[in-house]
Structure 1
């Protein structure tokens, strides 16, 4: 067995983990170099104690600190860009117009991420981790530079999609780095820290974006700041570890191993879905040919993707980008759905609480985003609790059970009780329930799923769960944006009927720009308009209630088991 020092200096690192499993006959009994021990009580034998003592990370000391700095730094940047458009969109519309493209500033980034995430999961199982990770960091920075220098709305939207592609790659690179180079005992904590920094970035995004948008620096620096951070983190990137899962295979053979057809179909599925929801009811009428045609295209492409992946058409079972065999394992499906439900709750809350304060109290981007601080603190605390306590206790089902119940209660209160006269304390209280529920569940699957599948499928497993997380974000932003835009439009149109306002005027009011709807109406009409917008925000939380309820059902179906993991690094 190689010593940790030897593994440090090696360009290729392998991890062998012994796993034995009992108590769940539906799960696989063996995986490559791994087994899982499940029991009602942890075995406390001398052999087990010796194994625990020998369990060490292959990279230690200051180099590990530098790697963690790089991983968590990129997690923050990815989180920032996921939500930073929430507080700069009105300023961008004032500069460029094209209010009908406003929704793309938020959904474009998540669309770029989800369109490539499954392909990236396969790529990280084929190509060298160091070069792939750093390459996507550069891609993300290039997209950020394009956003900052965008001459028009089309360029800004394209830059957001481009940055989303790079962001997904660098985020997945961080997850794979932690999954490969940590022991199973500490994996949950390090994975939890990725969620913590990503979550902090997500929630700070509107604050930082609002700060730039309200300053002389302008909204463009909300994207240029990524380039400054890249320069600051560049020394840490030099220590990104090298891990080649197929060191003897030439590059040409690795390229042929990629499922390019599946990658194109997967990207097209999400693209058509987002286009249909983003334009439907806003730019196109729901019964217009463009809306119907896009939904039809979505259905046809989705069926083609399912068939191509199921029967490995123009690819192989080993190379296909979607791990179809995971769908035969109940726990993998449940973890996927639970992660998507949690991501839905996080992002609806992050986007719509600041929006509420902007319209009801007339706050600017900074002060409205600061209203998320109670959510931030409790979310971070809950993520840390899960990362530290869950692997020590061995139980994971209760975390999902409690978390999804809190998500359901918090979102139900936001839907039923929040109006334009609701006190700030009440909104903080409801958001705290959501924060704790999301924090207990958002990252747990990243530790559980790899242990259930084994280290030979680490890259596929991380990609699978990450597609649930980012896919949940994409779907949540698309559906919530459509619901909010359409209901708010109807309410404002009703409140201003006969006043001669155009469709563009109403959409401008919804976007938060300086609209004549607010400037040229009486206080009574403005109050009705604001109440209509608040009602639209409350309707958005129906989706979160549904996600929480679905999460409760899935948590009940999880195995009642303790999960104990031991690992040895070796070569």
Structure 2
């Protein structure tokens, strides 16, 4: 999830290199342009990349770690109606601020900002680990999500500031790989702690010592880079589109709130659901109007780069990247499928993601190398979509008796597909925009990638809660169970339905939940098909990553 972009000049002139970047070798006199790392020694850049990769891994880890801890959290804290927020809180906090954070990184010193967001992420993690109530845990997840978004976008901007265009694909693959590995390991680590004496709380506490070990790197090795060194803090703050930032956050937060509560907590036709859907629609319209007509902002400073929507390639890249957000759905629901159908523990079910991990890593690196060498991005998207579509069909047609080998085969196909397509848009967009739009390109693709992943998880979570409840209610109707007991069955095999001692009841509930999970993978099928169609509409060109091309 990264991009390599050259830094753009400020209004006053060329950005001056930071004064603290000693020890680097001077560039040759024959160079036509300064190397973006000409004042950074090799060892310092390596340490910086290690810190960046760890940040990406932790961001990915916390995106999916709730998949394995919801059941244990429910046993400890209760409040089944709030359980979905443990998973949704983190990505919701991230996506709500993702455009604002991108704007801040285009204005302020990159090192100061990333250190601030790392601190915020650790504060959120500490609150989660020590949470005495589910509400406190949710608050901690939202805070950690905001911090995680800053860490991730900071990593993207470090790459944009200090890497050359020709390095972009491999750096993109590496940053995306770190996020992907973290996202895949989330259920594994969450399951391991949940099944151990350390309990689920250490699934969140673990972020603290990891960041502590690398704190010297963050403070002393990370280089500084101020994109607007001649402007004061107040002048920069005045350039931020605060109205757009608030409306944008409202669009994402309200959408996820109404998806989470509608149907599961409040009926779709209830006053609450109708009211929130209405408010969300109003906020969305206001955001579109405010951005389109630059109300309380300017075309240069508006938080969403509306002019990108005039570019065929950039629009298609946005759609393709959003389609790749099917990956977190796979990571989240395959372990759940094994918990219900095979009786796996949280750890064992998460370990079954290993085929996805290794294949995804391999194909993500292959994609970066192929894009760098051949530049045929449309072909990579088409192949990725075909793999995702096939793997999604295998999971969509699965049932409780489906063999483990078939599920592993679907994992391999999905891993190959997402690996080929997940990260390419950042590098492609970098050569499709003007230099002064480089930071806008990062923000634009961030909405498509982590933003779509967050929205995708919310939509699928809504489907799972609603379809699952209706299916269980129909299947278990003869047992006259209370609504809370039926809903708790969706949280995992720790619920009273599975511990009742009634084997027939448990078997019926397992089959029903497993079938619901299979239906969820219809979203993955749709994502794969959309990705293939989008690829066909792209320019089937050979991209020169070292030169700007027509968008």
Three-state SS of the structure 2 residue aligned to 1:519 is coil
Distance change >3 Å, CA 320–CA 180, structure 1 → 2: same
Please tell me whether residue 433 in structure 1 is matched to residue 428 in structure 2.
no
1:318 to 266, 288, 300: 300
- Residue 383 (structure 1) aligned with residue 364 (structure 2): yes
- Equivalent of 2:522 in 518, 539, 542: 542
Root-mean-square deviation (CA), in Å? Answer: 1.9
Within 5 Å, which residues of 2 pair with 1:157-168? 157-168=138-149
Query: CA-to-partner distance for each residue in 1:396-440, whole Å, 9 max, x for gaps?
Result: 110001001111111011102x11101110100011111100000
Equivalent position to 1:445, from 416, 425, 428? 425
Out of 476, 491, 508, which is 1:528 matched to?
508
How far residue 454 of structure 1 moved from its aligned partner, in angstroms, is 3.3
Matched, 1:401 2:378: no
1:354-380 superposed Cα distances (whole Å, 9 cap, x missing partner):
000101111111100000000011111
Q: Counterpart of 2:319?
A: 337
Q: Which residue of structure 1 aligns with residue 275 of structure 2?
A: 293
Equivalent positions of 1:86-485 (< 5 A) are 86-238=67-219, 239-343=221-325, 345-416=326-397, 418-485=398-465
> Which of 496, 509, 512 is matched with 2:489 structurally?
509
Cα deviations across residues 505-537 of structure 1 (Å, max 9, x unaligned)?
111111015322122253233222111111111
Please say which of residues 388-397 and 521-530 is displaced more in the overlay.
521-530
Q: Structure 2: state its 5+ residue gaps.
A: 1-14, 23-29
Equivalent residue, structure 1, for 2:10: none
3-state SS of paired residue (1:233)? helix
C-alpha distance in structure 1 between counterparts of 2:473 and 2:338, whole Å: 22
Report the CA distance shift for 1:546/1:405 in structure 2 as closer, same or farther (over 3 A): same
Give distance in 2, aligned partners of 1:470 and 1:7.
Answer: 32
Instruction: For residue 319 of structure 1, report the CA deviation from its aligned partner.
Output: 1.0
Secondary structure, counterpart of 2:263 in structure 1: coil
Q: 1:438-483: per-residue Cα shift (whole Å, max 9, x none)?
A: 0001100011101111332222111111111112111211111111
- Partner of 1:66 in structure 2? 47
Query: Which residue of structure 2 lines up, in the alignment, with residue 40 of structure 1?
Result: none
Asked if the contact 2:339/2:493 (under 8 Å) is kept, the reply is: no
Q: Would the aligned equivalents of 1:495 and 1:525 in 2 still touch at CA under 8 Å?
A: no
Does structure 1 retain, via aligned residues, the 8 Å contact 2:173–2:423? yes
Compute the displacement of 1:567 (Å): 7.4
Deviates more, 1:556-565 or 1:301-310: 556-565
Distance in 2 of aligned mates of 1:145 and 1:515: 27
Residue 16 (structure 1) aligns with: none
Contact 1:11 1:243 in 2 (8 A): no
Q: Is the 8 A contact 2:489 2:498 kept in 1?
A: yes
Give the alignment's TM-score, normalised by structure 1: 0.89
Q: Is the 8 A contact 2:254 2:276 kept in 1?
A: yes
> Contact conserved, 1:93 with 1:513, CA < 8 A, in 2?
no
Name the structure, 1 or 2, with higher relative contact order (CA <8 Å, separation 6+).
1
SS at match of 2:479: coil
CA distance in structure 2 between the aligned counterparts of 1:62 and 1:484, rounded to whole angstroms: 48
Equivalent pair of 2:431/2:546 in contact (CA under 8 Å): no
Contact 2:102 2:442 in 1 (8 A): yes
- Report the Cα distance in structure 2 between the residues aligned to 1:96 and 1:450, rounded to whole angstroms: 46
1:519 matched residue in structure 2: 499
